[in-house]
């Protein structure tokens, strides 16, 4: 029986992974063959001078709206308080995604997740924002944004159910791992939320015998599966920290809200925000093994196309 399983993996695995690129190689797509997608929107460092740097949007005092462009329309002015554009890089997130991909491949006998990487500096493009704020109306950046989203769509089209993990870094003093499901900090604290509000709505509908609270932060949650690998990897939400309880926390951004299962479809999504000590080369290999195992325990990831 064991021999048959081994043979099956050998025959089904691919030898070399296909890689696709968007325009100017700003966006890279490592084509996978399992129902798992890893996205890295903020780990890039290319700064082409053909794309003006993202700074602040223009604030219109009458409509109280931000217009993300470099030439403010009349009646609006650049406003770095009301219309701030975040440009900080999430250091080592690309390295973390690639290390995680390698470990998942090792654990599954050669199958690969889909990996989508933005190589542009966040000062030029932020794919975790809607198109206007992401690209400031610059066609070259808008094309890269389209490439990033189209590659996610292409990856999703190869699976029925699946999971997208959007990988980020944060510098919060708690130094914990923040798992974002689109449930806000205050709603986690108060307990006022439902599965339909979340980016794992599809998964919750499949697991009808498990309460959403158990799936989000209890014995069946990703936080629990990560923490059981190593007690140093404190997660929120999880059984140890069911809510941020006044601490710093990111609940998820454009990518998980657009490409998770809150709005439609059967691909779930979770934003994972890592503290720096976990992304550093000293911890990264150990953490990649832990997260790979936790993801395979948490989700029924399908191998093969
Ligand atoms: Zn980020």
Q: From the CA of 41, how far away is ligand 1's center (Å)?
A: 7
Asked: is 16-47+88-298 a CATH 3.40.630 domain? The reply is: yes
Q: From the CA of 1, how far away is ligand 1's center (Å)?
A: 44
Protein residues with C-beta less than 5 angstroms from the ion ligand 1: 42, 90, 168
Q: From the CA of 117, how far away is ligand 1's center (Å)?
A: 12
Q: What is the pLDDT of residues 275-294, one digit of tens each?
A: 999 999 999 999 999 999 99
pLDDT, residue 16, reads 63
H/E element holding 268?
strand 267-275
Instruction: Name the token pair of 201.
Output: 């709505």
List the chain residues with pLDDT less than 50. 1-15
Q: From the CA of 88, how far away is ligand 1's center (Å)?
A: 8
The pTM score is: 0.94
Q: From the CA of 272, how far away is ligand 1's center (Å)?
A: 9
pLDDT, residue 305, reads 76
Q: From the CA of 14, how far away is ligand 1's center (Å)?
A: 31
Q: What is the pLDDT of residues 87-130, one digit of tens each?
A: 999 999 999 999 999 999 999 999 999 999 999 999 999 999 99
Q: From the CA of 90, how far away is ligand 1's center (Å)?
A: 5
Domain ranges in the chain are 16-47+88-298
Report d(CA 227, CA 38) in Å as an integer. Answer: 20
pLDDT, residue 17, reads 78
Q: From the CA of 86, how far away is ligand 1's center (Å)?
A: 9
Token pair 């924002």 in the structure block, residue: 129
């Amino acid at each position: 029986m064991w021999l048959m399983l081994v043979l099956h993996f050998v025959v089904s695995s691919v030898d070399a992974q296909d890689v696709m690129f968007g325009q100017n190689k700003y966006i890279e797509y490592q084509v996978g063959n399992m129902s798992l997608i890893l996205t890295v929107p903020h780990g890039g460092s290319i700064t082409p001078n053909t794309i003006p740097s993202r700074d602040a949007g223009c604030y219109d005092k009458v409509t109280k709206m931000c217009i993300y462009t470099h030439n403010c329309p009349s009646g609006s002015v650049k406003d770095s308080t009301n219309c701030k554009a975040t440009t900080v890089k999430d250091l080592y997130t690309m390295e973390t995604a690639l290390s995680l991909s390698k470990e998942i491949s090792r654990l599954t006998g050669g199958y690969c997740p889909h990996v989508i990487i933005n190589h542009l500096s966040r000062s030029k493009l932020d794919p975790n924002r809607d198109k206007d704020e992401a690209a400031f109306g610059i066609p070259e950046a808008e094309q890269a944004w389209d490439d990033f989203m189209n590659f996610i769509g292409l990856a999703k089209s190869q699976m029925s159910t699946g999971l997208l993990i959007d990988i980020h870094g944060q510098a919060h003093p708690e130094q914990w791992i923040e798992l974002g499901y689109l449930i806000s900090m205050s709603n986690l604290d108060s307990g006022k939320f439902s599965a339909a509000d979340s980016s794992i709505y599809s998964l919750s509908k499949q697991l009808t015998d498990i309460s959403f609270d158990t799936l989000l932060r209890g014995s069946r949650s990703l936080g629990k599966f990560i923490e059981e690998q190593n007690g140093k990897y404190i997660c929120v939400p999880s059984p140890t920290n069911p809510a941020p309880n006044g601490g710093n926390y990111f609940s998820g951004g454009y990518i998980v809200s657009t490409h998770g299962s809150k709005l439609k479809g059967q691909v779930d999504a979770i934003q994972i925000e890592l503290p720096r000590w976990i992304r550093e080369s000293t911890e990264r290999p150990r953490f990649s093994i832990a997260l790979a195992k936790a993801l395979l325990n948490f989700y029924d990831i399908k191998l093969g196309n």
